[in-house]
Amino acid sequence: MIHSQILFDVQSKINMDNWTIVNDNVMGGRSQSDFGMNADGYAEFSGTVSLENYGGFASVRNRLHASNLNDNKHVLLFLKGDGKNYQFRLKHKKSDYHSYVYTFPTQGNWEEIKIPINAMQPQFRGRQLNMANFNHESIEEMAFLIANKKDESFELVIKSIEIQ
C-alpha cells in the first residue's frame, strides 16, 4: 500500500522559516519576491520578476531533511495561482548543482496539480541537461520558481505539498 507523505501543509504549523528566497539578484538581476503567511493563513510566494540586468527569475526553496519516496510516484500541490506558469523543482541532494523541473500552468483558482516525479527533467540555469529524469529514492530540496521571460508581478498561494 502506498502512503502519502506531507512535505508542507499550512495547517500543520510547519516552520515557515525553512523557506529561503533566491532571486536573480544573485547574478545582478532586479527581481524581488517574498514568502510568508497571508491574511487568510496560507503560504504566499509573491513579487515582481524583472528582466533588467539580465535578470528574469524569482524562486523560493525549502531544504528538507531527506524525504524517502518509498513507492510514491507523484507530487501533489494544492495551490491557487494567478494564471501564470510556474516551475516546481526537486533536488535529490541539496549539494547537487542541478534541479529536476516540472513546469505547470495555473488557472487563477484553487487547484490540485499532480506531477509525476519521473517526468521531472534535469536542468541547470534554465538549460536542459543530458541526464535521466528524476529516478532517485529521496529528496532534500523542493522549490517554486517563476521565469516566463517577461517583466511581471506574480502571486502563488500554497496550502499543501505532498508526495503520494
Residue-wise pLDDT tens digits, 87-136: 999 999 999 999 999 999 999 999 999 999 999 999 998 899 999 999 99
* Helices H / strands E in the chain, number of each: 0, 13
Distance separating alpha carbons of residues 40 and 67, to the nearest angstrom:
29
pLDDT for the residue numbered 69: 85
pLDDT for the residue numbered 1: 47
pLDDT for the residue numbered 66: 67
Q: Pick the range with the lowest mean pLDDT from 12-16, 47-51, 104-108, 109-113.
A: 12-16
Would you say the pTM of this structure is higher than 0.85? yes
SS3 of 77-140: EEEECCCCEEEEEEECCCCCCCEEEEEEECCCCEEEEEEEHHHCEEEECCEECCCCCCCCCEEE
pLDDT for the residue numbered 27: 78
Distance separating alpha carbons of residues 1 and 75, to the nearest angstrom:
17
Angle at 107 between CA 90 and CA 6, to 5 degrees: 35
Mean pLDDT rounded to a whole number for the chain: 92
Residue 99 in grid coordinates: 534541479
pLDDT for the residue numbered 13: 60
List pLDDT tens digits, range 138-147: 899 999 999 9
pLDDT > 70 fraction of the chain, expressed in percent and rounded: 96
Q: Amino acid identity of 118? A: N
CB atoms within 10 A of CB 23: 22
Predicted confidence (pLDDT) at residue 84 exceeds the cutoff of 60: yes
Nearest Cα to Cα of residue 158 among 99, 67, 82: 82
5-163 folds as: Jelly Rolls (2.60.120)
φ, ψ for residue 84, nearest 5 deg: -100, 165
Q: Are 29 and 67 in contact (CB under 8 A)?
A: no
Angle at 24 between CA 121 and CA 118, to 5 degrees: 10
pLDDT for the residue numbered 14: 62
Domain ranges of the chain: 5-163
